[in-house]
């Protein structure tokens, strides 16, 4: 894989930034993501959809992993690859075990579940918008959520 | 988020400016509930100046839609949705749940 | 004079551009009669781009108003009248005959 | 009565222009009237109302005095007086005898009269908008319609 270098601008293939784990950070994270999407050449609709997915993921980190604002940080890293943008969100909160949840697939999860609590739509948005979604937890690096968006439609075997 | 409202003979227009997310969704829910509590179920959400709708915001709209459509008494419709928001709503399959109008005039004229 | 029309569920919007005078009044009368002939009597005349209304033009509006209001079946209302035209209609005492709305949205919402 | 003269511009107190007696002339006549109203210091609403009255009067000349387009001319003269604008419209068509007509006063003439023919609104507009209206006919000068608009409300005795 080769990276094109224009005459004056070296394309940054990777960028990382840490944000305080508070709702205020969401618009700043969106800006960061918007830049990465621009570098990936995404159109404004795709860019907005990726912003939405990341916003949902970060809201979940603040709300569920940390259980509140200003408990910990969110580290956001973007890798620009030839055919995709990879976004990695890291936190040090409570590990998320997606196996414990009904991961929404194609149907909109609008039904109530478990004693009147309403199923959230956040995970549904994330899975629906991004081409690949994976959660991982390790003692050293905390929780890692990897989100992938392809530059064109995902390859059939992916 | 900023909310302005206008009541017409047969419908209500509610215009939102800014982000509809977990932080602001309760305020929008309150405004919508005030309308339905008054027995008015034909509502237009003018999204012209909406910059972002999160799943929490959409949840409010879905709940309002359910409430409005009950007994066939009304409907929540969306007007002037910015293209990027509309395309994302399409992607997540939510545009089926709401009639969408390009302009508020057609939306008011629909009821 | 240029006429554009839009039909809503409960009313019709007819937008006129240019002069409504003896020369053009018959064309406007025709357009209005086509609407009322279809059994639709709730009509909004959008005057935003009207530059002049002569007595012949007003005569058409008065006739249409009479027709629309018969049997309480409807009404012709005016929207977005330029200030100078409005003030002259006031002077000649014709603003009493028509409900006037500042914007077309409120006019559509009125029906 | 004295006319103010500014440093560089001599205020024209009187202007006259002839127009072909056709409907096309109406917008040109309106322009001419607009200039006179501007010199009289009328606001845009008053100006538009005077334009309307003159438009009605000229339409009547073409339609009724000449009985059609391109039969004769309309001569339009504006006198700017201290407290009023005087507009004189002259034509060489059929004399108009206002005594033969119900000159509309304050009530809008919307009723039908004389065998289904509808009463026109033109004279009503003219009388309602202008402060003074008078028709005259002479063999040498043809028909003269004098229209007056005061700069402020008309004096009580006028
Ligand atoms: N990052 C996370 N850390 C811990 N728990 C999470 C995380 N993301 C989601 N969850 C759990 O998954 C559930 C569903 O999430 P989501 O679909 O975003 O809806 P909501 O957040 O509105 O409940 C949450 O209620 C929460 O219990
Ligand atoms: N300048 C004129 N010369 C001759 N007849 C006139 C003139 N102006 C008005 N009339 C007569 O007065 C009648 C009423 O005029 P008006 O109120 O302007 O309505 P309309 O022109 O629509 O009939 C006209 O029908 C015409 O018979």
Q: Which residues contact B42 (CB under 8 A, 6 or more apart)?
A: B10, B11, B12, B68, B74, B75, B111
> D26, D27, D52: which to substitute to probe chain C, counting the most C Cβ within 10 Å?
D52
- DSSP-derived letter for residue D131 is S
Distance of residue A71 Cα from the nearest chain B Cα, in angstroms: 18
CATH code of A48's domain: 3.30.565.10
Among A34, A113, A119, A125, the residue to mutate for chain B (most B Cβ within 10 A): A125
Partner residue opposite A121 with nearest CB, options B19, B52, B58: B58
Domain enclosing residue A118, as ranges: 14-150
Is residue B65 within 8 Å of B76, Cβ to Cβ? yes
Is residue D145 a part of any domain in this protein?
Answer: yes
* 8 Å CB contact of A59 and B22: yes
Domain ranges of chain B: 2-110
In sequence order, which residues have a C-beta less than 8 Å from that of residue C77 and are 6 or more positions away?
C43, C44, C45, C98, C99, C100, C101, C107, C110
* B95/A contact by beta carbon, under 8 A: no
ipTM score for this prediction: 0.77
Higher pLDDT, D99 or C27: C27
Residue B83 Cα, gap to closest chain C Cα (Å): 22
Is A156 part of a structural domain of the chain? no
Q: Per residue in A45-90, pLDDT tens?
A: 999 999 999 999 999 999 999 999 999 999 999 999 989 999 999 9
CB < 8 Å to C87, chain D: 45, 48-49
Say which residues have a Cβ less than 8 Å from residue C14's Cβ, sequence separation at least 6.
C3, C4, C5, C6, C31, C32, C35, C43, C44, C45, C46
- Residue D22 touches partner C, C-beta closer than 8 Å: no
Chain D neighbours (≥3 Cβ pairs under 8 A) are C
Nearest CA to ligand 1 atom 23: A120
The model's pLDDT over D88-107, given as tens digits with 9 standing for 90+, comes to 999 999 999 877 776 766 66
Q: For atom 8 of ligand 2, which residue has the closest CA?
A: D60
pLDDT tens-digit map of A115-141:
345 668 999 999 999 999 999 999 888
Measured CA to CA, the distance from residue D83 to residue D113 in angstroms comes to 38
CATH class belonging to C2-110: alpha beta
**pLDDT > 70? residue D51:** yes
Count of domains observed in chain A: 1
Residues of D in contact with C94 (CB under 8 A): 108
pTM: 0.81
Residue D116 has pLDDT above 50, yes or no: no
Q: Is D158 a member of any domain?
A: no
A157 found inside a domain: no
Question: Buried b / exposed e across A84-120, counting CB within 10 Å, b at 16+?
Answer: bbbbbbbbbbeebeeeeeeebeeebbeeeeeeeeebb
CB contact under 8 A, A49 and B88: yes
């Amino acid at each position: 894989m080769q990276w094109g270098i224009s005459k004056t601008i070296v394309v940054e293939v990777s960028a990382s930034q840490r944000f305080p784990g508070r709702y205020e950070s969401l618009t700043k994270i969106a800006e960061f993501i918007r830049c990465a999407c621009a570098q990936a050449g995404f159109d404004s609709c795709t860019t907005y959809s990726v912003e939405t997915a990341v916003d949902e993921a970060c809201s979940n980190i603040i709300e569920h992993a940390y259980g509140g604002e200003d408990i910990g940080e969110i580290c956001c890293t973007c890798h620009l690859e030839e055919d995709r943008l990879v976004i990695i969100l890291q936190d040090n909160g409570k590990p998320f075990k997606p196996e414990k949840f009904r991961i929404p697939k194609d149907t909109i999860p609008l039904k109530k579940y478990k004693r009147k609590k309403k199923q959230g739509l956040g995970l549904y948005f994330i899975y629906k918008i991004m081409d690949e979604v994976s959660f991982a937890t390790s003692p050293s690096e905390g929780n890692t959520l990897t989100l992938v968006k392809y530059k064109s439609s995902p390859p059939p075997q992916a | 988020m900023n909310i302005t409202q206008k009541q017409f003979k047969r419908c209500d227009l509610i215009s939102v400016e800014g982000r509809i997310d977990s932080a602001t969704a309760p305020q929008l829910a309150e405004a919508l509930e005030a309308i339905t509590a008054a027995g008015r179920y034909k509502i237009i959400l003018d999204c012209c100046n909406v910059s972002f709708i999160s799943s929490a915001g959409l949840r409010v709209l879905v709940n309002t839609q359910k409430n409005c459509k009950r007994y066939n008494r009304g409907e929540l419709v969306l007007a002037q949705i910015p293209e990027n928001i509309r395309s994302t709503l399409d992607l997540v399959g939510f545009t089926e749940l709401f009639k969408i109008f390009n302009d508020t005039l057609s939306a008011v004229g629909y009821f």
